[in-house]
Amino acid sequence: ETLKHIKTDPHNAILSTCEGIMPMTTDATNAAQQQFSAGDASPLTGIPIIYKDNFNITGTLTTCASNMLANYRSVYTATVVERMQATGSISIAKANMDEFAMGSTNENSAFGAVNNPFNPAHCAGGSSGGSAAAVASGLAPVAFGSDTGGSVRQPAAFCGVTGLKPTYGRLSRFGVIAFASSFDQPGIFSKTAADCATVLAATAAHDDKDSTSVKRETDDYVGQLGNAVQGKTIGLVRDLFDRVQSAEAQARYEDAIRQYEKLGVTFIDVELPNPELCVAAYYILSSSECSSNLSRYDGVRYGHRSVHSDDLNALYTASRTEGFGPEVKRRILLGTFALSAGYYDAYYLKAQKMRRVILNRFNELFENIDSILLPTSLITAPKLGQDFDYNDDMCTISANLAGLPAISHPIGLANGLPVGIQLIGKHFAEANLLNLVHQFQ
Ligand code: GLN
């Protein structure tokens, strides 16, 4: 039934299904049925799960929505997928995305943009737009995405679902195709924080296959959902709420803040590190890392191989020219420039120093507060074809620079489109964030 539903996919959220790919559908369904009859089903047994198309799952096409990998089939499975499969859940399909997770509207996909389920003339957000639209339109109750600079939280906000980006290192990156390795973190989409907690509990544990995966114990994400939030002090980023243009969205934010106050939360105004500077540092650093990570797609070791070349250098050039889309090329150029000998100190090194200053600033803030409340985006989902500025990412990027956990949750509609609000927590405070949102919901 779910597969039938997925195949209708009016939003272009899905790139391929896992049908017929063992042990994804038939085997997994049989195993789930056995678990049910044996009485040892987990809360995720039999639940269909959608993965962004940068998650490797053996046998599936894993394209990163790029012509470079249009025919690539995975030869191994990402750790988070393996852990989800161990719960008895069923990997059902792979979701559309911006090419190599670079973008904010899903329009950088080589396979077409994703339509917003609330209004198909608008984008679903990005880069995990397919995963967000899939959950919003009911194709699956849970989807995975990746969040390097906001790519789980922002599409979650644009599509009216909940999106969690855990602390950097909490979920294994093994098997998730790299964009910017010091920022990348798998993230979870579902309708509610409670469902995110169940999924996080099933996937968060140390992984020897990812050297940046933390050894720290996990918390009881589900068990802590009932904890009192009374008396917590939350920092309110007034400056960013004030920058929201739409009066309707402003009203939703005021309502949400009041609702949090009713739960017994106290707000104090805080200022985040300069958001424009965060955006600048992020784009220098993430592009530098991407220029290195994407050098492997040369048409020989990996990826599309051009037939229009006579020698090796021409083969590399033609393969990359044909395989990558314009945004990916822009990032590779920017990153290669920032890392080049004469400019390294002026750009890359400076941005690294800024990253440290931003982290220090968060650490200072967190001495007096429990978490931080801010918009997920200053705008609701823009129309397809409309310009999207790098600065439009300013609400999500600082959490990635500092490696902090953050969650976006829906708070209603403005002019027919969803509005999302975001909480940023201390390192490894996922249980607290999930509980706050759970109480709100
Ligand atoms: N929009 C940001 C970018 O284009 C974030 C992407 C992401 O989180 N993958 O880099």
Question: For residue 265, is it within any domain?
Answer: no
pLDDT at 387 over 90: no
Taking the centre of ligand 1 as the mean of its atom positions, its distance from the CA of residue 28, in whole angstroms, is 33
Confidence grade of residue 347 (pLDDT, cut at 50, 70, 90):
very high
CA 150 – ligand 1 centroid, Å: 6
What CATH number is associated with residue 17? 3.90.1300.10
For residue range 259-316, list pLDDT tens digits in order: 999 999 999 999 999 999 999 999 999 999 999 999 999 999 889 999 988 999 999 9
Q: Which residues line ligand 1 (CB under 6 A)?
A: 101-104, 127, 146-151, 179, 286, 393
Atom 2 of ligand 1, nearest CA residue: 149
Residue-range definition of the domain harbouring residue 131: 2-224
> How far is it, in rounded angstroms, from Cα 381 to Cα 388?
10
Q: Is the dihedral of CA 178, 183, 185, 190 positive or negative?
A: negative
**Distance, CA 154 to ligand 1 centroid (Å)?**
9
**Do residues 193 and 162 touch, judged by C-beta distance below 8 A?**
yes
CA atoms of 345 and 354, how far apart (whole Å) = 13
- Higher pLDDT, residue 360 or 37: 360
In a domain, 332, yes or no: no
Output the residue whose Cα is nearest ligand 1's atom 4.
103
Residues forming beta bridges with residue 375, ordered by sequence position: 421
In a domain, 96, yes or no: yes
pLDDT tens figures, 40-83? 888 999 999 999 999 999 999 999 999 999 999 999 999 999 99
Angle between helices 275-293 and 350-365 (to 10 degrees): 130
- Residue 427 located in a structural domain: no
**Mean pLDDT, rounded, for 34-43:** 86
204 vs 419: CA distance, rounded Å: 28
**Sign of torsion, CA 163 164 168 172?**
negative
Q: What is the mean predicted confidence (pLDDT) over 365-376?
A: 97
Report if residue 275 sits inside a domain. Answer: no
The predicted-structure confidence for 76-109, as pLDDT tens digits, reads as follows 999 999 999 999 999 999 999 999 999 999 999 9
The CA distances from residue 79 to 42, 179, 186, 407, in Å, are 19, 17, 11, 22
Alpha carbon of 179 to ligand 1 centroid (Å): 9
Total count of domains within the chain: 1
CA 128 to ligand 1: nearest atom: 9
Mean of all residue pLDDT scores within the chain: 95
Confidence of residue 27 (pLDDT cuts 50, 70, 90): confident
Say how many CA atoms lie within 13 Å of 199 toward its Cβ. 31
β-strand 371-375 against 233-236: which pairing, if any?
Answer: parallel
User: Does 67 fall in a domain?
Assistant: yes
Atom of ligand 1 nearest to the CA of 126: 1
Calpha distance 378→346 (Å, rounded): 30
Mutation choice for ligand 1 from 104, 123, 154, CB with most ligand atoms inside 8 A: 104
In a domain, 253, yes or no: no
Question: Any idea which residue has 């990812």 for tokens?
Answer: 210
Give distance in angstroms: CA of 45 to centre of ligand 1.
32
Cα(279) to centroid(ligand 1), Å: 11
Tell whether 281 is covered by a domain: no
Predicted confidence (pLDDT) per residue in 399-412, tens digit:
999 999 999 999 99
Which phi and psi (to 5°) does residue 413 adopt? -115, 150
Map residue 316 onto helix, strand or coil: helix
Q: Do 240 and 206 form a contact (C-beta atoms < 8 A)?
A: no
Q: What is the pLDDT of residues 214-233, one digit of tens each?
A: 999 999 999 999 999 999 99
Q: Which of 261, 319, 262, 277 is nearest to 68 (CA)?
A: 319
* pTM (2 d.p.): 0.97
- Ligand 1 atom nearest the C-alpha of 331 is 10
Q: With residue 165 as reference, give the H or E element that holds it.
A: strand 162-165
H or E stretch covering 406: strand 406-414
The CA distance from 143 to 421, in Å, is 19
Q: Which of 127, 182, 189 has most ligand 1 atoms within 8 Å of CB, for mutation?
A: 127
Strands (E), 183-298: 186-190, 233-236, 266-269
List the catalytic residues. 52, 127, 151
Please give the structure tokens belonging to residue 196: 């995110």
Q: What's the token pair of residue 334?
A: 């920017």
What's the rounded Cα separation, in Å, for the pair 120 and 57? 30
Say which residue, 259 or 34, is predicted with more confidence: 259
CB 135 within 8 A of CB 164: no
The number of the ligand 1 atom at minimal distance from the alpha carbon of 147 is: 8
CA–CA distance, 429 with 203 (Å, rounded to integer): 16
Q: Which two tokens stand for residue 281?
A: 């540092």
Pocket test for ligand 1, best of 107, 148, 173, 327 (most atoms within 8 A of CB): 148
**H or E segment and range at residue 371:** strand 371-375
